[in-house]
Chains A and B, each alone.
Chain A
Amino acid sequence: MELLIGGLAIGAVYALLAIGIVLVFRATGVVNFAQGEVMMVAAYAYVLAAARTGSAVLQMAAAVGTGIAAALLCYAVAHLLLPRASRLAQVIGTIGVLILLQAGARFLFTDDPVPADPWLFGDENLLVGGATVAVNSLLILGITVLATAALVWWQNATVYGRAVRAVAEDPWRAALSGIHVSSTLATSWAVGGALAGIAGLLVSPVTGVYPTMGDSVIFPAFISAVLGGFSSIEGALVGGLLLGLIQTYAVVLFGGSFKEAVMFGVLLAVLLWRPTGLFAARGARQV
């Protein structure tokens, strides 16, 4: 039970990042390599806020706001600095942001991990069916599922969400309808940043906060997104949760050092078996 919840909680963090990546990819075709660093910056913001205020709302605002700001920085580099560059150049641009953010964090906070207290409920545990479960893990899971549901609603039911999808399908035709393309794109990046901010807020008590914390989550997030078909929010959620479970049980069965190999092994198998991911049929694109 602890394992199950723990694995799902890790998976939920992957999913939050993966959904942000998918949102941006769907709207712009750019794969954001700096998404882990956006999370890292937000995690520092949370730690700093937690040292100054006890208000859970302000702490969350600090993390989410910083996440949005960092994501908009990525947007600025990929779209405003490199407007006519190829997709690959834009992706490399996000790698440039990754390097700068990491270097900045290292300069300001050194390499030593900063411990963080769990948000809202602290270190409490719950007894569920005879097993102790960290409330923080349940919180991570709950928030992730809620955020996903809200996003799916936003994308499918609101005019703004539909505009985002229209821009993703064909920016030129969307612009001909009077849709403001660049602000629509920026919104996708900002929402992705907000999700990374939430991930930073929730994961920092588990891992501590340090400049390279993004490195350890970005590729699991990519794998989650690929498992989910790379264009579906729900797919990324399921992919993330699945990967969290696989990783947790892989550690139990084979030991910690095989963690990456098992994750990527699963990925390779899925890619070679179904190159469009496990849930591609549910993807948003119906062409």
Chain B
Amino acid sequence: MSLLEATGLRVAFGGVQALDGLDLSVGEAEIHGIIGPNGAGKTTAMNVLTGFIRADGGTARFAGAPLPSQPHLVAQAGIGRTFQSSAIFADLTAVENVMCGGHRWSRAGLFGSMVRTRAAQAEEAELRRTAADWLGRVGFQFPVDTPVGALPFGEHRKMEVARALMGRPRLLLLDEPTAGLTPAEVHVVGDLLRALRRDSAHPLSIVLVEHNVPFIFSLCDRVTAVDKGRTILSGTPAEIRGNAAVIQSYLGGGGAEGHAAAPAVPPPAVADTVPPVLELRGMRAGYGRIDVIRGVDMTVRPGELIVICGRNGAGKSTLLNAVSGQPKVSGGEVLWGGARLNGLSVSQIARRGLALVPQERGIIAGQTVESNLRLSTGGLGLSRAGYRARRDAMFERFPKLGARRTQIAGTLSGGERQMLALAKALLRQPRLLLLDEPSIGLAPTILEELGRTVEAIRADSIAVVVAEQNVWWVAPLAQRAFLMESGRFVASGPAAEIAERERLLESFLGGQGSDGGADEAALALVYGGHR
């Protein structure tokens, strides 16, 4: 009898079927991994199981009873959870954050708390002791009374795991717990999860959603692979690794054929004598007092395509956003054709010829396609005819947009939105185009098309920088690549070489040694087989 049994979960968001019959079965004291490409529905599944999203169909049972429909009841039933992006209580200290996790089993009421009855004091002391203990066990590096607002990202992740464990759950759902952690920290988390399952006086089951596939394979008893909201296969890591359908879901419908279409040799490197369009020197940036970007150097020349790879939380988005003006650069220099961009506003930088297509696209969802294009001409001083000429050029490049010019942008499909976002950026005839995770939610065939578009843009002598986790579609097209880790570039060089470095790092993390065959499959999952 399994602890958690979900069958046929279905959820639709405004026409997009996020979950389309997802099955998940987790046994007692089992570590269970969920893997799947971006947009496969992993986080949606978590949200459905914890009551944040109501399923349109399907059933879910936990410990023999139907899952409650509200998050706090789910938590009280014995399910703990962490979130994909960090979900801290910024105004509390670390130990107080973890103490909140004990809310479900502590009892003090308003009156007892106000006058501090003996029972309330004893309970408070117990909460504090247990919370400090958990912080120690997850490897928290700071004094427990540190206010959490200023802590590094990795400490937030560990604290959140401690907070979830504080609730004494029977089932722990972890959404990308290793994102943004250093390899050593990943090891600590892995060891902790193994120890938890072994030591626990009460059986604890753990569900992990992860991009770090080797980590999943080394840790989990069973793995469920999902794609397009559906369960492809559930089984032991060995079964998953060898399964053709799973590998194909990562590579896309075309599989090897798609790769054959990509050029075998990347375009030649641009000579160092060409003046750079953008130059970063020791750039630092972040939110509040925390620097997320901690000293980045990069030179971008016209006609160059650069890929920045790295996991969720490594700082890729923050880097691109900060170059575009928000968050503000807190140190170092951003040079645009030799002139400083530091301190300029987002629109001022955009008007100088830098275009960012942010993650989740850069479109104005509430307005039509045409209106979106018209609005992107801010500060260009185009005449009506000049605008029309550029717009028609875009409709020529992206015929599907022309057909949908009066449609509200928010109702477009993912691929069409990406085209519109690109068209908005290109309409401004930028000198540098920054693309942040353009692959999210796009089908492999559309990604191949996007790859061709990006290549064409580069060939027009526009510099392009792409930040991606999912690099297979773009790495073969790029002259150079950077690997980002915790806000710094840890490796740089020709794209193929960096992909190789990534590969070594992956096998080290996965603890798979030189076990060639298994390693190969794991790699294929992460980097689509591109070497």
Query: Is there direct touching of A and B in the complex, by C-beta distance under 8 Å?
Result: yes
Query: A172-B326, A287-B410 known; A179 and B362 CB under 8 Å?
Result: no
Partner among A166, A285, A287 whose Cβ is within 8 Å of the Cβ of B375: A166
Measured between beta carbons, the chain A residues less than 8 angstroms from B424 are: 177
Residues 243-273 of B, flagged 1 when their CB comes within 8 A of A and 0 if not, give: 0000000000000000000000000000000
A155 to chain B, nearest CB (A): 12
Q: Are B345 and A181 closer than 8 Å at their CB atoms?
A: yes
Of the candidates A163, A179, A287, the one having the most CB atoms from chain B within 10 angstroms of its own CB is A179
Q: Are A178 and B365 closer than 8 Å at their CB atoms?
A: no
Q: Is B379 an interface residue (CB 8 A)?
A: yes
Residues 161-174 of A, flagged 1 when their CB comes within 8 A of B and 0 if not, give: 01101100110111
B323 to chain A, nearest CB (A): 12
Q: Are A175 and B347 closer than 8 Å at their CB atoms?
A: yes
Query: A166-B367, A173-B364, A286-B410 known; A178 and B376 CB under 8 Å?
Result: yes
Q: Is B408 an interface residue (CB 8 A)?
A: yes
Q: Are A165 and B367 closer than 8 Å at their CB atoms?
A: yes
B48 to chain A, nearest CB (A): 21
Q: Are B428 and A169 closer than 8 Å at their CB atoms?
A: no
Q: Is A150 an interface residue (CB 8 A)?
A: no
Measured between beta carbons, the chain A residues less than 8 angstroms from B394 are: none
Q: Is B363 an interface residue (CB 8 A)?
A: yes
Q: Is B378 an interface residue (CB 8 A)?
A: yes
Measured between beta carbons, the chain A residues less than 8 angstroms from B410 are: 286-287
Q: Are A173 and B326 closer than 8 Å at their CB atoms?
A: no
Q: Are B362 and A178 closer than 8 Å at their CB atoms?
A: no
Residues 79-96 of B, flagged 1 when their CB comes within 8 A of A and 0 if not, give: 000000000000000000
Q: Is B324 an interface residue (CB 8 A)?
A: yes
Partner among B345, B350, B366 whose Cβ is within 8 Å of the Cβ of A285: B366
Q: Is the interface of B mostly helix, strand, loop or mixed?
A: loop
Partner among B350, B363, B374 whose Cβ is within 8 Å of the Cβ of A162: B374
A253 to chain B, nearest CB (A): 42
Q: Is B371 an interface residue (CB 8 A)?
A: yes
Q: Are A163 and B345 closer than 8 Å at their CB atoms?
A: no
Measured between beta carbons, the chain B residues less than 8 angstroms from A175 are: 325-326, 345-347, 350
Please report the C-alpha to C-alpha distance between residue A64 and residue B182 in the assembled complex, in whole angstroms: 61
Q: Are A177 and B367 closer than 8 Å at their CB atoms?
A: no
Q: Is B236 an interface residue (CB 8 A)?
A: no
Measured between beta carbons, the chain B residues less than 8 angstroms from A269 are: none
Partner among B326, B347, B363, B371 whose Cβ is within 8 Å of the Cβ of A180: B347
Q: Are B376 and A177 closer than 8 Å at their CB atoms?
A: yes
Residue on B nearest A178 in the bound complex, by CB? B378
Measured between beta carbons, the chain B residues less than 8 angstroms from A285 are: 366
Measured between beta carbons, the chain A residues less than 8 angstroms from B408 are: 286
Q: Is A128 an interface residue (CB 8 A)?
A: no
Measured between beta carbons, the chain B residues less than 8 angstroms from A172 are: 326, 346, 358
Query: A176-B356, A176-B358, A178-B428 known; A287 and B350 CB under 8 Å?
Result: no
Q: Is B351 an interface residue (CB 8 A)?
A: yes
Of the candidates B364, B365, B367, B371, the one having the most CB atoms from chain A within 10 angstroms of its own CB is B364
Q: Is B150 an interface residue (CB 8 A)?
A: no
Q: Is A159 an interface residue (CB 8 A)?
A: yes
Q: Is B512 an interface residue (CB 8 A)?
A: no
Please report the C-alpha to C-alpha distance between residue A287 and residue B358 in the assembled complex, in whole angstroms: 19
Q: Is B380 an interface residue (CB 8 A)?
A: yes
Partner among B362, B366, B367, B371 whose Cβ is within 8 Å of the Cβ of A176: B362
Q: Are B365 and A179 closer than 8 Å at their CB atoms?
A: no
Q: Are A287 and B376 closer than 8 Å at their CB atoms?
A: no
Q: Is B240 an interface residue (CB 8 A)?
A: no
Please report the C-alpha to C-alpha distance between residue A286 and residue B356 in the assembled complex, in whole angstroms: 24
Q: Are B365 and A169 closer than 8 Å at their CB atoms?
A: yes
Measured between beta carbons, the chain B residues less than 8 angstroms from A287 are: 365-366, 410
Q: Are B351 and A177 closer than 8 Å at their CB atoms?
A: no
Residues 436-449 of B, flagged 1 when their CB comes within 8 A of A and 0 if not, give: 00000000000000
Q: Are B326 and A177 closer than 8 Å at their CB atoms?
A: no
Residue on B nearest A286 in the bound complex, by CB? B366
Interface residues contributed by chain A, number (CB under 8 Å): 22
Measured between beta carbons, the chain A residues less than 8 angstroms from B350 are: 175-178
Q: Are B355 and A176 closer than 8 Å at their CB atoms?
A: yes
Please report the C-alpha to C-alpha distance between residue A174 and residue B376 in the assembled complex, in whole angstroms: 8
Q: Are A159 and B366 closer than 8 Å at their CB atoms?
A: no
Measured between beta carbons, the chain B residues less than 8 angstroms from A284 are: 366
Residue on B nearest A284 in the bound complex, by CB? B366
Please report the C-alpha to C-alpha distance between residue A179 and residue B374 in the assembled complex, in whole angstroms: 11
Please report the C-alpha to C-alpha distance between residue A181 and residue B367 in the assembled complex, in whole angstroms: 17
Measured between beta carbons, the chain B residues less than 8 angstroms from A174 are: 364, 375, 378
Q: Are B358 and A181 closer than 8 Å at their CB atoms?
A: no
Residues 262-274 of A, flagged 1 when their CB comes within 8 A of B and 0 if not, give: 0000000000000
Please report the C-alpha to C-alpha distance between residue A285 and residue B366 in the assembled complex, in whole angstroms: 6
Q: Is B377 an interface residue (CB 8 A)?
A: yes
Measured between beta carbons, the chain A residues less than 8 angstroms from B325 are: 175
Q: Are B366 and A178 closer than 8 Å at their CB atoms?
A: no
Please report the C-alpha to C-alpha distance between residue A181 and residue B355 in the assembled complex, in whole angstroms: 16
Task: List CB contacts (< 8 Å) of B330-388 with chain A.
Answer: 345-347, 350-351, 355-356, 358, 362-367, 371, 374-380
Q: Are A159 and B365 closer than 8 Å at their CB atoms?
A: no
Task: List CB contacts (< 8 Å) of A246-287 with chain B.
Answer: 284-287
Please report the C-alpha to C-alpha distance between residue A170 and residue B363 in the assembled complex, in whole angstroms: 9
Measured between beta carbons, the chain A residues less than 8 angstroms from B356 are: 176
Query: A172-B326, A286-B408 known; A178 and B367 CB under 8 Å?
Result: no
Task: List CB contacts (< 8 Å) of A156-200 with chain B.
Answer: 159, 162-163, 165-166, 169-170, 172-182
Residue on B nearest A175 in the bound complex, by CB? B346
Please report the C-alpha to C-alpha distance between residue A178 and residue B366 in the assembled complex, in whole angstroms: 18
A1 to chain B, nearest CB (A): 42
Q: Are B345 and A166 closer than 8 Å at their CB atoms?
A: no
Measured between beta carbons, the chain B residues less than 8 angstroms from A176 are: 324, 346-347, 350, 355-356, 358, 362
Q: Are B367 and A179 closer than 8 Å at their CB atoms?
A: no
Measured between beta carbons, the chain A residues less than 8 angstroms from B358 are: 172-173, 176
Measured between beta carbons, the chain B residues less than 8 angstroms from A182 are: 345
Measured between beta carbons, the chain B residues less than 8 angstroms from A177 are: 350, 362, 364, 375-378, 424, 428
Residue on A nearest B350 in the bound complex, by CB? A178
Of the candidates B366, B408, B428, the one having the most CB atoms from chain A within 10 angstroms of its own CB is B366
Of the candidates A165, A166, A175, A181, the one having the most CB atoms from chain B within 10 angstroms of its own CB is A175
Measured between beta carbons, the chain B residues less than 8 angstroms from A178 are: 347, 350-351, 376-380, 428
B361 to chain A, nearest CB (A): 9
Query: A176-B324, A176-B355 known; A159 and B345 CB under 8 Å?
Result: no
B293 to chain A, nearest CB (A): 18
Measured between beta carbons, the chain A residues less than 8 angstroms from B351 are: 178
Q: Are B364 and A180 closer than 8 Å at their CB atoms?
A: no
A80 to chain B, nearest CB (A): 13
Q: Are A181 and B366 closer than 8 Å at their CB atoms?
A: no
Measured between beta carbons, the chain A residues less than 8 angstroms from B362 are: 173, 176-177
Contacts A169-B364, A175-B326, A285-B366 supplied; 5 other A-B pairs, CB < 8 Å = A159-B375, A170-B365, A181-B347, A286-B366, A287-B366
Pick 30 A–B contacts, CB within 8 A, sort by A. Answer: A159-B374, A162-B367, A163-B378, A165-B366, A166-B364, A166-B375, A169-B364, A172-B358, A173-B362, A173-B364, A174-B364, A175-B325, A175-B345, A175-B347, A175-B350, A176-B355, A176-B356, A177-B377, A177-B424, A178-B428, A180-B347, A180-B379, A181-B345, A181-B346, A182-B345, A286-B366, A286-B408, A286-B410, A287-B365, A287-B410
In order of increasing CB-CB distance, the 4 nearest A-B pairs are A178-B378, A175-B346, A179-B378, A177-B376
